[in-house]
Amino acid sequence: MRCCGARWVLVALAAATLVLMVRLGAQEGRPTAEDPRVSLKAGFRDAGVAARNLELVATLPKPEGFFDPSAPAGSVVPPERLPRPGADPNEPEPAPPVPQPQPAGGGLNFGNSDLAFGDQYVFVGNFHGFTIYDVENPRRPRLVASVVCPGGQGDVSVSGNLLFMSVEQTRGRVDCGTQGVRGPVSAERFRGVRIFDIRDLNRPRQIAAVQTCRGSHTHTLVTKPGDTENLYVYASGTAAVRSEKELEGCSGGDPRQNPDTALFSIDVIQVPLASPQTATIVNRPRIFADPATGNIAGLWRGGGHGPGTQSSRATTQCHDITVFPEIGLAAGACAGNGILLDISDPANPVRLDQVVDPGFAYWHSATFNQDGTKVLFTDEWGGGTRPRCRATDPPTWGANAIFEIIDRRLRLGGYYKLPAVQTAQENCVAHNGSIIPVPGRDIMVQGWYQGGISVFDFTDPTAPFEIAYFDRGPIDPTNLITGGHWSVYWYNGHIYGTEIARGVDVLRLTPSEHLSQHEIDAAMQVRTADFNAQQQSKVVWPGTSAVARAYVDQLVRTNGIQEDRVRAIRPALDRADRVRARERGAAAVAAGLQALAKQVTADAEPAPLREATRLWSLAAALENRAASLR
Amino acid sequence: MHRIVALLMVVVAAASCRSAAGGSGPAIVQPGAPGEPARVIAADRAADLSGVTHSAADVRFMQGMIHHHAQALDMVGLLDTRTASEAMRALGRRIELSQRDEIAFMRQWLQARGEDAPDEHAHHLPGAPLMPGMLSPQEMDRLAAATGVEFDRLFLDFMIGHHDGAIAMVDDLLASPGAAQESEIFAFTSDVVADQRAEMERMAAMLAMLEELHK
């Protein structure tokens, strides 16, 4: 049982809104030499900061027990040696400077990773376990508990009273011990998906530990509409297959020699909600199979796509899968391919389409837009520990690729990459993000490791543009120390980011010519009880004035609405905000809004499709606002 | 409006599902095995990773892999003067990039831990170990003496075996007690295997095409 029912819970907030002058803005956020993110001062705790239309409201270092006291910032990563696409690889490159030897430190052993949300709590995954913060007041997060249970990467998801965590490393132990596992084959080792009971947040209890052959690098919670008794987990393993002496049925290798290889599949775990401790693997579907030949290694075989192209990993695994159960689809970022899956039967996903990209090294993660008509894939070129946002790195490598979903197939629109150049001391590439629920637009916030945070619009998949950013200088002035924002997600009005080395950041959006206060207000009125970024659902906005005002602002921005209509709608919404439902005068205000809705619907008749759609949305928002007064 | 009110009640119900006692300050807790209770532990114990520091097997693996990868660079160095195929040269460039990147990582990993970090020429020194898949001096001479299609065929054959050796080295490492417990080296083993596999697949296809063309 999900503890808490509806996933998206709407709360109509008092819409304290200002009428904001919105003007058509120049395309700010395009790369410029004067971008304040370029050449920020380095430092672990005192790095220079550049921010635009994003305000940092709280930042917390990692708690005690989650860093190496002898090297709190982590350890050094080797200098960059490669690849400079376009450069002649035969031409000798200057030898990189040898970094100063430093203590090995914790490095990724204590790295913060993915995060999940439930009620007023944020669950921060870490290679070493997870931490829980109370963010009832997002400006003053309070540490509730830090939970030691190592094994990396520690990606977490939350559903009701259950927390799920991915473990892939050979040091992972069934008993959450920190001492590692010495034996190459050991009953003490744990690699797979842990399940914790989090009813008592001060003392989370491990209730199940589902072992898998390759461990779990990431996982995704999947629901089946109508099935309230089960939850499913898609576990993706990317590391070595363990010996069958350690876990029965595990063997690796080439499928031509070993048709039972644990490569070329994902693990589907079924979790009966009445007895989650009995969770077990129910399928290892061959989602990369060639339907014509039955060859389970049916997708990208690894290598380049021709002269001047990226070398893409072979598709032996998915790195991450994002599901959208209401529309029955999942998007898999699967090493050498982006794939689309039909998940109407979650235990038996069926591949619908697959794409490759000549600039993608490693298909890493996926995010649907709000209505599931687009999907954005990321490329983690360099694995996340390398600097891939230098001036010499191509804008379509290590970037996002945005696809439209047409007839359940993927069609490429365009690319988005962090538009500010970063140094060779900053690991930087596209990484994890989530949708900001602004009605009528596709807006995403995303972490770029030490490239910082970027908020961008991809409503037009061929022309994405940046709206806001937050960036710190490198951790160290001369060495690359792995750090930066791993995951950055919107949750109930604020933006939360995990910083691998520095801790957790909480930010809020501020209005600009690209995003009005009304649009932000409308997004903030969408509330949810749990949130896992890889488990998406449709957003329904409340019948508030802010939602209608957001559409008006958007139409004004594109000259899609008559001025006199705007002059009528805005005061009508003001009037609506001054009366209470069913109070004297409310019926007249509601009737006025309905009349405006009719006019707007008529305006949509001759308008081009994009404006017409927005006008219909505005009309619906006005109708909803009127309905809320009755 | 009724719907909103009803849903608000759900939020209240949701909040009551989980509890977090305030007061004594946040604790560091360590859960037990499934079914076991969690217990409070001290910060110094929580951060004690002395059991998962790098092992002698890890160091031998990294040092050996530098020798191994360095020979791949020597092999690629022969391509310029011995092959007639642009596809072979492109393959060589990709191999060079990935092997150099991994050598840089391994050298830094060793240096940061105060261990000897061989450079990419050290495998020419007498007594340097011959790691799995590496060519013997005689095989290297044979490759250097070949040209044209004969060279291409031999190069692909040797390089597939060479890459397979790297995968065998990872298997050996993971089969060694106390090995690959640290996060960086563990992640590196996955990368090495994935990179070699992808290139081997490519080379196997090129070799098959070559055999087909020159039956």
For residue range A192-241, list pLDDT tens digits in order.
Answer: 999 999 999 999 999 999 999 999 999 999 999 999 999 999 999 999 99
At residue A75 the predicted structure's pLDDT band, cuts being 50, 70 and 90, is low
Decide if B213 contacts B205 (C-beta within 8 A).
no
- For residue A333, with 0-12 CB atoms within 10 Å meaning exposed, 13-18 middle and 19 or more buried, which class applies? buried
For A286-300, A400-414, B8-22, which range has the lowest pLDDT when averaged over its residues?
Answer: B8-22
Report whether pLDDT(A290) > 80. yes
Angle, alpha carbons B71-B68-A303 (nearest 5°): 80
Helix, coil or strand: residue B42: coil
The predicted structure's pLDDT at residue A583: 85
Domains of chain B, start order: 55-118+133-213 (1.20.1260.10)
Q: How many CA atoms lie within 13 A of A367 on its CB side?
A: 27
User: How far is A301 from A388, CA to CA, in rounded Å?
Assistant: 24
User: How far is A434 from A252, CA to CA, in rounded Å?
Assistant: 34
The predicted structure's pLDDT at residue B24: 55
Query: Which residue from B15, B80, B112 is facing A75, i.e. has the nearest CB?
Result: B112
Both tokens of A499, joined, read 């910083």
To which residue do tokens 């809020």 refer? A508
Q: What is the pLDDT of residues A527-560, one digit of tens each?
A: 999 999 999 999 999 999 999 999 999 999 999 9
Are residues A101 and B111, on separate chains, in Cβ contact within 8 Å? yes
Kind and range of the H or E run holding A254: none
At residue A15 the predicted structure's pLDDT band, cuts being 50, 70 and 90, is very low
To which residue do tokens 């606002």 refer? A625
Are residues A240 and B174, on separate chains, in Cβ contact within 8 Å? yes
Interface A-B, measured as beta-carbon pairs within 8 A, has a size of: 275
Both tokens of B99, joined, read 């092997």
Decide if A75 contacts A106 (C-beta within 8 A).
yes
Residues of A in contact with B186 (CB under 8 A): 152, 168-171, 239
CA nearest B3 in A: which residue? A10
The predicted structure's pLDDT at residue A88: 44
Mean pLDDT across chain A, nearest whole number? 89
Q: Tell me the pTM.
A: 0.89
At residue B123 the predicted structure's pLDDT band, cuts being 50, 70 and 90, is confident
Percent of chain A with pLDDT over 90: 82
Residues of B in contact with A91 (CB under 8 A): none
Decide if A30 contacts A465 (C-beta within 8 A).
yes
Q: What is the pLDDT of residues A344-355, one digit of tens each?
A: 999 999 999 999
Q: Please compute Rg for chain A using Cα positions.
A: 25
The predicted structure's pLDDT at residue B21: 64
Angle formed by the axes of helices A517-524 and A545-557, nearest 10° = 140
Q: What is the pLDDT of residues A581-616, one digit of tens each?
A: 888 889 999 999 999 999 999 999 999 998 999 999
Pairing of strands A153-159, A162-167: antiparallel
Q: What is the pLDDT of residues A371-383, one digit of tens each?
A: 999 999 999 998 8
Residues of A in contact with B5 (CB under 8 A): none
Percent of chain A with pLDDT over 70: 89
Both tokens of A188, joined, read 């003490």
**Preceding peptide of A206 cis, ω within 30°:** no
* Cα–Cα distances in angstroms (integers) from residue B119 to residues A90, A228, A437, B94, B115, in the given order: 20, 59, 52, 20, 13
Helix, coil or strand: residue A242: coil
Q: What is the pLDDT of residues A24-43, one digit of tens each?
A: 222 334 455 589 999 899 99
Report whether pLDDT(A81) > 70. no
Chosen for mutation from A178, A190, A199, A476 (greatest number of chain B CBs closer than 10 Å) is A178
| DSSP collapsed to 3 states, A341-400 | EECCCCCCCEEEEEECCCCCCCEEEEEECCCCCEEEEEECCCCCCCECCCCCCCCCCCCE
Chosen for mutation from A148, A198, A547, A580 (greatest number of chain B CBs closer than 10 Å) is A148
Q: What is the pLDDT of residues A107-128, one digit of tens each?
A: 789 999 999 999 999 999 999 9
Q: What is the DSSP string of A49-106?
A: EEEESEEEEEEEPPPTTSS-TT-TT--EEPPP----TTS-TTSPPPPPPPPPP-----
Residues of B in contact with A205 (CB under 8 A): 31-32, 36-38
Q: What is the pLDDT of residues A312-370, one digit of tens each?
A: 999 999 999 999 999 999 999 999 999 999 999 999 999 999 999 999 999 999 999 99
The residues, ordered by sequence, that sit 6+ positions from A484 with a Cβ below 8 Å of its Cβ are: A426, A427, A428, A447, A448, A449, A450, A451, A452, A499, A500, A501
Are residues A209 and B33, on separate chains, in Cβ contact within 8 Å? yes
Mean pLDDT across chain B, nearest whole number? 86
Report whether pLDDT(A4) > 60. no
At residue A106 the predicted structure's pLDDT band, cuts being 50, 70 and 90, is very low
Query: Which residue from B10, B198, B205 is facing A4, i.e. has the nearest CB?
Result: B10
The predicted structure's pLDDT at residue B13: 41
Query: Which residue from B53, B90, B108 is facing A307, i.e. has the nearest CB?
Result: B90
Report whether pLDDT(A44) > 50. yes
At residue A95 the predicted structure's pLDDT band, cuts being 50, 70 and 90, is very low
